[in-house]
Amino acid sequence: MAAEAGMSLGSVRHYFGSKDEMLRYVVRYLGERVTERIVAGMGEAGERPS
């Protein structure tokens, strides 16, 4: 994510209180992205998410 934003990891870490906080954010962010992709894939396949 830091590279995509054109920033160094140290610059990004500055915005979080700790490494654990940054890790929790990344895990939550990735989980949301995976869920979005699954739901989109189900829509393309003609399935309705419950």
**39 is written with which tokens?**
């739901």
Task: Let me know if residue 44 belongs to a domain.
Answer: yes
Note down the domain range covering 50: 18-50
pLDDT digits (tens, 9 = 90+) for 1-50: 677 778 887 888 888 999 899 999 999 999 999 999 999 988 877 766 55
Task: Let me know if residue 3 belongs to a domain.
Answer: no
Task: Let me know if residue 25 belongs to a domain.
Answer: yes
User: Total structural domains in the chain?
Assistant: 1
**48 is written with which tokens?**
């309705």
Task: Let me know if residue 10 belongs to a domain.
Answer: no
Query: For the whole model, what pTM was predicted?
Result: 0.64
SS3 content of the chain, % helix, strand, coil (to 5): 60, 0, 40
Residue 25: burial class (beta carbons within 10 Å; 0-12, 13-18, 19+): middle
Contacts of 43 (CB under 8 A, 6+ apart): 49
Model pLDDT, residue 1: 62
Task: Let me know if residue 28 belongs to a domain.
Answer: yes
Task: Let me know if residue 4 belongs to a domain.
Answer: no
Specify whether the CB–CB gap between 2 and 12 falls below 8 A: yes
Task: Let me know if residue 35 belongs to a domain.
Answer: yes
